[in-house]
Structure 1
């Protein structure tokens, strides 16, 4: 889907000021409220905006340990294992991957002992052959999309403007 300069400005405001009203966004952007609402509706319909809820901190919820657990799955059992993983509350994301494992999970835990218990639970799931765990020590770059939004906006603004960061990709 094509994102233009106004879409980019809207997305930036949504990221930087998520609790602002549509009326205030329209005022800041200098567009009619109806125009803004139509843009928001289109961005949601096209899957650019995927949610409007708050970001929650697992650490603040008593689960400060973060680990990435790779799972090797018996061939043909990805869907079955994926459904079983969805039932484990400490698993906050699961991705199918290429490489050394079939699934990559993001797991949170109260402490290392709790993490071990969760991993043992994963190993017992039908279809899981083995796991490999990497514990995160510190977040170096928090989840972000604003730099991508800005790069897309620069590309939409016209030729001759760089559409990427310092890596040139």
Structure 2
């Protein structure tokens, strides 16, 4: 079994914001694989399906970003999903918009959603896909920037990165994560 977690904030006011790119990636996977996100439990919304013969869970925690671990840990425990079979998708200010970076471990790097996951999982060693959103321009605060909408000139790159993440996650259903890292980094 694989658990794909997209980080974001619940509510329509956050739809399409930079901080919700993890949600956008999970939605893309759900659409491509015909998985309905129709189960509300574990402080999140999730769906279950089969991709390339592999049972897959897609999860969007509805706890707000800084409490994401409160959703992920209970689902993992209930379905007995080991840490090596999860991947977390989230926004990254240190990557240019449109770029993705796969890693098997690392610090939170100031990301509150990842801080929560590390606290609840008890380790920094879990698969992750960081999706670049770049840094604020023109003196904009980080909070306003990550909770803001993309600039019009960024939309194509964002769409391409979401598509690339979906391809990487699908590749992970048939290959070890290290191999997928080497292919997509």
Normalised to the residue count of structure 1, the TM-score between the two structures is 0.29
Which structure: greater strand fraction? 2
Larger helix share, 1 or 2: 2
TM-score by length of 2: 0.27
Structure exhibiting the larger radius of gyration computed from Cα positions:
1
